[in-house]
Structure 1
Amino acid sequence: MASPSQITILATTISKSTAILNEYFLSNNLPMPSFDISGPPQILVPFHDKQVAAAYAEVLRATMELHHLILGPTAMLMNTSAMDSVSLQFIYAYDMANAFPINEEATFEQISEKCGLNVIDTRRVLGYAMTNHIFKEIRPGVVAHTAASKLLASDPLLTDYVGIVVEERFQAAAHTVEAVQKFGCAKEPNQTGYSIGHRTTKGLYEELSSHPSRSKRFANAMSAFTSRNELSYLFESYDWSSLESATIVDVGGGYGPISIGLASNFPALNFIVQDLAGAIADGPAYVPAEILDRISFMAYDMLTPQAVRNIDVIFFRAVFHNWTDHYCVKILRNQIPALKKGSRLLIVEPLLVESGELPWHEERRLR
């Protein structure tokens, strides 16, 4: 008897793993994944439930692997396209998601008139987006929302994240090879595809600080990214209770989603969230009333000496991966004046591991 082919092995893996996820959703009374506007905005699986987490990872890995196998290497390479970002950039720039109410429908002509984009390009952009389940054509010429387009119409933080991807990162990605060819292993923040693509002599953070609306959008985007990630691992992987009533300075903390989460789980702790002025401007508005007295916000540029003194705990999360070694050392040295006997420095950073040590989707995201 012939051995099963790789595609049938993958199909079996998908079937078995999907059954585990299906049972998890049912037994926990959770909504099933759906492209419909009633579908859940995010699929969260508990990382501490090893079977469910493994099934989730296997479904993502096996479906992508099967997709690539069935395409074959030629089609896989030729199907690589920037059009995903281009169509999303049009949708963002012309605010197409808000062209008609979420529970209603509209013709391409109506969307075109509302958005100010000619009807030919409106059809092209939305037609491509529909292949990614962003909007759907419910009958010829008539468009309705899906779960994804509903989010773009109803979740301003997520929409700002999309804005960062298609307007800030997209330009950077297009010029990254050029930057490496020009600068080699970059040492300065402005020796990047971002600076070339945005025609500036400044690095990312300096450039954003010169444009308040873009700076606010970036802060919103980072808040959206952090708040939608599973944070229980952070709360459980360190003995925060041992800090008792310490004050934690959250450097580069944006609107403070991490501090808010920690304050909600550890009622004795106090927090000072530091970031550039534009990044923290709206921070207090996101703090729940019951912990507002334990979280404050302070404008601070980490490339300058720390302004607070006698700090109990200095906390950096997902900061240093954005800087070269020279600047990482500078940022850390800038904290020295703030230290006292017994001060602690806590650093949480995403680190790459050997290939294959993480689930496929996690390794891909990190890389």
Structure 2
Amino acid sequence: MPNPSLTRIAQLAATITAEVARIDGILAAHGLPSPSLDEDAPPALPDEAADAQDAVLDAAAELNDLLREPLSAIYEHGGHNNNVCLQTIARFHISAMVPAGGRVSYADLAARTALPEQVLRRLLRHAMTMHVFREPEPGMVAHTRASKALADPAMNAWLRIGTEEMWPAAVRMLDALQKWPGSSEPNETGFSLGHNTSESIYGVIGGGGPELAVRFATAMAVYASRPEYSPAFIVDHYDWAALGPDTRVVDVGGAQGHVAMALAHGHANLASVLVQDMAVVVAGADAGVPAALKSRIAFMPHDLLAPQTVVADVYYFRWILHNWSDKHCVLILRAQIPVLKPGARIIIQETCMPEPGAVPRWKEKALRMNDINMGAVFNARERTVGEWRDLLAEADPRFVLKAVTEPKGSALGILEVVWSATD
């Protein structure tokens, strides 16, 4: 029995300690080695260790979920069967149907979603095994920390994009690699096959109407709410003040301007920040700009691959280039050249992939998951600092990588690139 005087995490730790000791005793009695990751290690524990094994795995999984924030925990669980119940939750906005601090019946949820009650019960009980919702009494559904987070419309948009746009891409990635060997094209991907289209994801979003475009932009903005993706890193860890007064910034691919607004708010010397993105994304975005910033924030429809037409001091790319293959990144960088002044900056805020074992394993696992996702959806990839340097040199030797900053706690590095041409 759990000791009620202990906190929940201490109870879980005690369970793990006690049950691991039981497993060790059983293995010793049978003269068997301890579990190992070696390729020749025994594949399974003896049958009499099954109860202890179950207790350890359940306690470890709950402890893992308690010690990680909800989005990280949900993402970790992304298997194909797991995604069925997560997709259901996202598509029908089920988290928003469950009252905070209260509960609702399966029957009520079934009526509101028009799904058969027995099917919905099976799906939600599966989600509950991942600590998304709980059943405090038979037939009733209540929130956990994760399900309550998904009640936020932005969080729900993030989950829906993941389960309805990204998931079909992942399961067709290998098919795309075999159909189009060595392709760099964004419309020759797992996403294209998974969605039965000859378009890239950009074409699908652009042609899917404003609802899909805004959902995608909202889902991406969710990451700004996660500590490791906070706009504070680019606001506080790049010396914007050194650029001088009346600095003009173009936020290329800046969605609805959430980072642009943070920059303008944090640095008075930024005279203007122009956000460029697809027309369906920036349409109406100015309505979300606070009155105090409206004179300094503007929006402009723009195609990333088209020649840049706006003269500025800084061209800022946040989490944009990892969506593109090397071939297209080169084209995007070259598209800025017609308006670049000597000394103009290209600020790239992107993941800097580590060498194997250079960061904690769970962090490396998440980075490599993202890397595979880029391949499935965009025919793109995450890059090391060396690969970023090579990419810039391929685009034009006058792109000089001046500095790389990787702020502690940030998921994204900051690459400062200076245009070294003379007039």
TM over 0.5: yes
Q: Distance in 2 between matches of 1:66 and 1:110?
A: 32
Look up the match of 1:214: 212
Asked if 2 retains the 8 angstrom alpha-carbon contact of 1:94 and 1:117, the reply is no
Look up the match of 1:124: 122
Per the alignment, in what secondary structure is the counterpart of residue 136 of structure 1? coil
Deviations 1:167-222 (A, max 9, x none): 00011011011111111222111110000000110111112100122111111111
TM superposition shift of 1:321: 1.3
Asked if 2 retains the 8 angstrom alpha-carbon contact of 1:99 and 1:115, the reply is no
Per the alignment, in what secondary structure is the counterpart of residue 233 of structure 2? helix
Look up the match of 1:281: 283
Matches within 5 A, 1:3-14: none
Q: Which structure 1 segments of 5+ residues have no match?
A: 1-10, 16-61, 68-78
Could you list the runs of 4 or more consecutive aligned residues of structure 1 that deviate by over 4 angstroms after TM superposition? 62-67
Asked if 1 retains the 8 angstrom alpha-carbon contact of 2:98 and 2:141, the reply is no
Whether 1:104 and 2:106 are equivalent positions in the alignment is no
Matches within 5 A, 1:27-46: none
Look up the match of 2:137: 139
Deviations 1:265-306 (A, max 9, x none): 112212001110122224323333322221111110111111
Q: Distance in 1 between matches of 2:329 and 2:278?
A: 17
Q: Distance in 2 between matches of 1:305 and 1:107?
A: 56
Look up the match of 1:204: 201
User: Cα RMSD (Å) of the superposition?
Assistant: 2.5
Deviations 1:7-47 (A, max 9, x none): xxxx99x97xxxxxxxxxxxxxxxxxxxxxxxxxxxxxxxx
Asked if 2 retains the 8 angstrom alpha-carbon contact of 1:303 and 1:331, the reply is yes
Whether 1:243 and 2:243 are equivalent positions in the alignment is yes
Per the alignment, in what secondary structure is the counterpart of residue 300 of structure 2? strand
Distance 1:315 1:175, change over 3 A: same
Matches within 5 A, 1:71-110: 81-110=79-108
Q: Distance in 1 between matches of 2:343 and 2:79?
A: 53
Q: Distance in 1 between matches of 2:62 and 2:94?
A: 29
Look up the match of 1:329: 330
Look up the match of 2:319: 318
Whether 1:290 and 2:305 are equivalent positions in the alignment is no
Look up the match of 2:40: none
Q: Distance in 1 between matches of 2:362 and 2:304?
A: 32
Look up the match of 2:253: 252
Q: Distance in 2 between matches of 1:88 and 1:146?
A: 14
Q: Distance in 2 between matches of 1:215 and 1:165?
A: 14
Deviations 1:295-319 (A, max 9, x none): 11111011111121x2111111111
Matches within 5 A, 1:105-184: 105-153=103-151, 155-184=152-181
TM superposition shift of 1:258: 1.8
TM superposition shift of 1:145: 2.1
TM superposition shift of 1:66: 9.5
Question: Residue 140 of structure 1 aligns to which amino acid in structure 2?
Answer: P
Look up the match of 1:231: 231
Whether 1:268 and 2:265 are equivalent positions in the alignment is no
Q: Distance in 1 between matches of 2:293 and 2:360?
A: 36
TM-score, scaled relative to structure 1 = 0.75
Which of 303, 306, 317 does residue 305 from structure 2 map onto?
A: 303
Asked if 2 retains the 8 angstrom alpha-carbon contact of 1:94 and 1:116, the reply is no
Asked if 1 retains the 8 angstrom alpha-carbon contact of 2:89 and 2:95, the reply is yes
Asked if 2 retains the 8 angstrom alpha-carbon contact of 1:256 and 1:283, the reply is yes
Distance 1:320 1:172, change over 3 A: same
Q: Distance in 1 between matches of 2:297 and 2:64?
A: 48
TM superposition shift of 1:63: 7.4
TM superposition shift of 1:106: 1.6
Look up the match of 2:16: none
Question: Residue 126 of structure 1 aligns to which amino acid in structure 2?
Answer: L
Distance 1:240 1:196, change over 3 A: same
**Percent identity over the alignment?**
38
Asked if 1 retains the 8 angstrom alpha-carbon contact of 2:251 and 2:276, the reply is yes
Per the alignment, in what secondary structure is the counterpart of residue 315 of structure 1? strand
Asked if 2 retains the 8 angstrom alpha-carbon contact of 1:219 and 1:280, the reply is no
Larger Rg computed on CA atoms: 2
Q: Which structure 2 segments of 5+ residues have no match?
A: 1-8, 14-59, 66-76, 369-423
TM superposition shift of 1:233: 3.0
